[in-house]
Amino acid sequence: MRAMNGDDVTEAVAGCTAALRAAVDRDWKAVRAGRLEWDCHATAVHVADDLIAYAANLAGRAQDAYVPFELTLDEGTDNAGLLHVIETTGALLAAAVRTAAPGVRGFHPYPFRSADAEGFAAMGIAEVLLHTHDMAEGLGIPYEPPAELVASLLACLFPHVQPGTAPWPTLLWATGRGALPGRAPVTAWRWYNNLVIPGERVTLTGIRPATAHDLRLGGDGGFTWLDGGPYEGTREAASFLVKAYEAGVHRPEFGVFVLVRHEDGRAIGGMGFHSVPDEDGRVEIGYDLVEGVRGQGYATEALRTLAEWALARDDVSSLFATVERDNTASQAVVTRVGFAQVSDEGDELAYELRR
């Protein structure tokens, strides 16, 4: 798995149009697109409409709604012309993704009300792959996208889904389009963009499994780190995230966040949850900073921001943190945020913050 980019959008669109050209002389309005209620023509228009909408929302940095326009074909546009529209709108999305500055986000309604460039790339690819499958199924033509592309898409938009040995059947199962041995049928689904939580001086940027995989292997995860970071604790947390994803127990809102400083866009640390909340709503939290920014209040601000977000949820009743006995700086951080010491055992002190 790897981070998704504009080249992936181009690859997905090329595979779509190559497959559908085999049936370009058919009446697409007379053929239902697989299990969808739409016909193949309407489905193809939907793909093009989504591609241009995603490009517009990212390039225009839409905040609260889609950019207010709609794709309309010229009267008399044939199937070949419609495929040209898909190619063109796909090229526009790919360009928007390639040229987006780091950290730029645009509106998307769920689940967290925004997406970054990678998210828009992945959503566009998902629309292309899944609806090409629908149309190909209706038209009776073969279609299967590259396994590596699908595996990266699953890790990006479906981090809550345990990856299978074959990515394409796993994606079809995860979106209610097929069966997978040993797994119950999917009747309702949605994808997940990464969560970002803004603070006063830093943004907590949720990382995806592919980013965590890169950090675990010693990479930068696509971030520009201060002082040659990240600190080892962030890499260890990234390793735990990858293991949770591979086990199918990862929930993206309870993962790992990279702390990105507003003033220069540099990553200065990591913070996140050790797991999902337990049955009592209790969840453990951890963090670290690169050495060059310690003592400047960043950890306190980020922890307060994440704590406020977590305790506003119905499934979280308390946050828990363990701090080494000789780490007085970290003890001061949790205390300033409002954590109270609840135990004193061995080399570690335990702190808790309740709703």
Share of the chain above pLDDT 90, in %: 95
Q: Supply the pLDDT for residue 344.
A: 87
pTM equals: 0.95
Tens digits of per-residue pLDDT, 150-203?
Answer: 999 999 999 999 998 899 999 999 999 999 999 999 999 999 999 999 999 999
Q: Are 5 and 99 in contact (CB under 8 A)?
A: no
Tens digits of per-residue pLDDT, 272-288?
Answer: 999 999 999 999 999 99
String of b and e for 231-258 (b: at least 16 CB within 10 Å)? beebbbbbbbbbebbeeeebebbbbbbb
String of b and e for 85-119 (b: at least 16 CB within 10 Å)? bbbebbbbbbebbeebeeeebbbbeeebebbbbbb
Residue 16 has pLDDT above 90, yes or no: yes
Tens digits of per-residue pLDDT, 231-262?
Answer: 889 999 999 999 999 999 999 999 999 999 99
Tens digits of per-residue pLDDT, 21-45?
Answer: 999 999 999 999 999 999 999 999 9
Q: Supply the pLDDT for residue 345.
A: 81
Neighbouring residues of 255: CB distance < 8 A, sequence distance ≥ 6:
159, 206, 207, 212, 241, 244, 272, 273
Give the whole-angstrom CA distance, residue 328 versus residue 338.
15
Neighbouring residues of 55: CB distance < 8 A, sequence distance ≥ 6:
89, 92, 93, 95, 96, 120, 124
Look at strands 202-206 and 348-354 and give their pairing: unpaired
Rounded to the nearest integer, the mean pLDDT of the chain is: 96
Q: What are phi and psi of 324, to 5 degrees?
A: -60, 145
Nearest to 94 by CA among 117, 116, 68, 60: 117
Residue 227 has pLDDT above 90, yes or no: no
Spell out the domains of the chain, with CATH numbers in brackets. Answer: 6-174 (1.20.120), 196-354 (3.40.630.30)
